[in-house]
Amino acid sequence: MRQLCKGNVALVKGALLAGCRGYYGYPITPASEIAEAAALYFPQVGGTFLQAESETAAINMVYGAAATGLRVMSASSGPGLSLMQEGISYLAGAELPCVIVDVMRGGPGLGNIAPEQSDYFAMVKGGGHGNYRNLVLAPASVQEMADLTILAFELADKYRNPAVVLADGFVGQMMEPLDLEYREVPQPEKPWAVKGTPETRGNLISSIFLEPDGLEDHERKMEAKYLRAQEAEPRYEMSYTEDAEVLLVGYGIVARIVHSAVEALRRQGVKAGLFRPITLWPYPSKALVKAAAHVEKVLVVELSNGQMVEDVRLALNGKVPVEFYGRGGGNVPSVKEIQEQVLGRVAAAV
């Protein structure tokens, strides 16, 4: 069914289709509509919604409910995610699947409620303590708010690990057509879960391993699954890359603007291309290396002071010069601005 929908609401619809039946959250702009839509829709399909007293409480409710094998989630924005980091580390350590949404706003501190992409470090590189990774997906449209949330639940279960939908305030707040069909999203068996049944009686959910060898084994096991994810899960989208001389890299809303800029540049005769990572962890490094193999320069555009650009530089490892252009505070680069950036400092060399 095709409908006009707000990104934050589409995300909840996706979660319900994925079989998510537990939502624990706390209001914060620009993510509040996720909690509000969950409050409205979850009870209609037999799910529970609870407004926690804080994000700290919310993520620990996720911890408790995820242990039963139920598909559960929470959503917030920057400051709330800071408070969740402790719980996310424990969820990862105890290998519990869940979905956490960050609709990024401006920061640090209270910052403002306008969109930024400044939580990349916090969500992609960790943020909580210890050896763990989040699976991170970055939607660029209202449709993807729903689709990638469904995928997030699947990946979370597949790897028994928290999955993060890292959206920006624009994608959360904007309205676009959304196509959703009712479909059964199969849920895997979870023999590890604590279900209150005779079969699961002996199960223990824990992240504590007091013996050095025990903890090392556990961490190696986690590392092995992260390596499997790095092989199997990188996702990305490319346009105009075959003959590109300048490669632009952006994710989320930025990729949409960059796409228009690339087309405008092509009309001007500049061979520009776009690489859009969809998974931020695992980062589609191999694909990026391929896409950048014959370009003269790479320009990374972000709504930050330069966070994802570090992963681009890491992937390209000095093979191609990587430039950066960022805006912040809720300011978004226009198509023209990106075009000028390319023409001014990148294309000049081409």
Partner 1 sequence: MATDTSVVAPKAISMADYKGRVDPDWCPGCGDFGVLAAVQKALVELQIPKHEVATISGIGCSSNFPGFIETYGMHTLHGRALPVATGMKLANHAMTVLVTGGDGDGFGIGCGHFVHAMRRNVDLTYIVMDNQIYGLTTGQTSPTSRIGMKTKSMPYGNIESPLSPVALALAAGATFVARGFSGDQKHLTELLKRGIEHKGFSFIDVFSPCVTYNHDNTFQWFRPRVKKLEDNPDYDASDWNVAMEKSVIWGEEIPIGKFFERTDLPTLHGAEPVLSAGPLVHQNNRIPADVAKTFIEELM
Does 326 bind ligand TPP (CB under 6 A)? Our answer is no
Instruction: Return the number of the residue (306 or 330) whose C-beta is nearest ligand TPP.
Output: 330
- Note whether 26 binds partner 1 by CB under 8 A: yes
Residue among 215, 266, 268, 259 at smallest CA distance from 237? 259
Q: Least CB distance from residue 123 to ligand TPP, whole Å?
A: 16
- Among residue numbers 42 through 61, which ones bind ligand TPP (CB under 6 A)? 55
Indicate which of partner 1, ligand TPP, none lies near residue 11 (CB less than 5 to 8 Å, by partner kind): none
Q: Which residues lie across from 104 on neighbouring strands? A: 168
What the block records as the tokens of 311 is 């992963």
Shortest Cβ 54–ligand TPP spacing (Å) = 7
Distance of CA 184 to the CA centre of its chain: 23
Strand 322-326 with 297-302, pairing: parallel
In the complex, minimum distance from the CB of residue 35 to partner 1, in angstroms, rounded to a whole number: 6
Sole binder of partner 1 in the list 45, 110, 293, 349 (CB under 8 A): 110
| Closest approach of partner 1 to the CB of residue 291, in Å | 41
Binding segment for partner 1 (CB under 8 A), chosen from 23-31, 284-292, 297-305, 320-328, is: 23-31
| CA within 13 Å, CB half, 75 | 35
Q: Is 40 in the site for partner 1 (CB under 8 A)?
A: yes
Residue 31 vs 322, nearer CB to ligand TPP? 31
Residue 80 touching ligand TPP (CB under 6 A): yes
CA distance 281 to 251: 12
Binding mask 13-32 for ligand TPP (x = CB under 6 A): -------------xxx----
Shortest CB 310 distance to partner 1, Å: 28
Q: Is 139 left (phi over 0), alpha (psi -120 to 50) or beta?
A: beta
As a whole number of angstroms, the distance between CA 251 and CA 240 comes to 16
Which of 189, 208, 210 is closest to 200 using CA atoms?
A: 189
| Helix runs in 72-205, H state only | 78-93, 120-124, 142-159, 169-173
Cβ closest to ligand TPP, residue 111 vs residue 282? 111
Residue linked to tokens 């978004």: 332
* 181 in Cβ contact with 149 (< 8 Å): no
**Residue written as tokens 């424990």?**
90
Considering the rule CB under 6 A, would residue 127 count as an interface residue with ligand TPP?
A: no
CA distances from 322 to 210, 232, 247, 299, 309 (A): 44, 26, 9, 6, 8
181 binds, among partner 1, ligand TPP, none (CB under 5 to 8 A by kind): none
For residues 344 and 329, is the Cβ–Cβ distance under 8 A? Answer: no
53 counts as binding partner 1 under rule CB under 8 A: yes
Task: Choose, by CB under 8 A, the member of 19, 64, 68, 79 that binds partner 1.
Answer: 79
Whether the ω angle into residue 277 lies within 30 degrees of 0, i.e. cis, is no
Residue span binding ligand TPP (CB under 6 A) among the ranges 42-50, 78-86, 180-188, 235-243: 78-86
Residues 54, 206, 268, 305: which binds partner 1 (CB under 8 A)? 54
43 makes contact, choosing from partner 1, ligand TPP, none, with CB < 5 to 8 Å by partner type, with partner 1
Q: Closest approach of Cβ 105 to ligand TPP, in Å?
A: 10
- Are 70 and 86 a contacting pair, CB within 8 Å? no
Contacts of 189 (CB under 8 A, 6+ apart): none
Give CA torsion, residues 211, 215, 217, 223, to 10 deg: -170
Looking only at residues 82 through 111 of this chain, which bind ligand TPP when binding is defined by CB under 6 A? 83
Which residues here bind ligand TPP, judged by CB under 6 A? 26-28, 55, 79-80, 83
Which residues here bind partner 1, judged by CB under 8 A? 26-29, 32, 35-36, 39-40, 43, 49, 51, 53-56, 79, 110
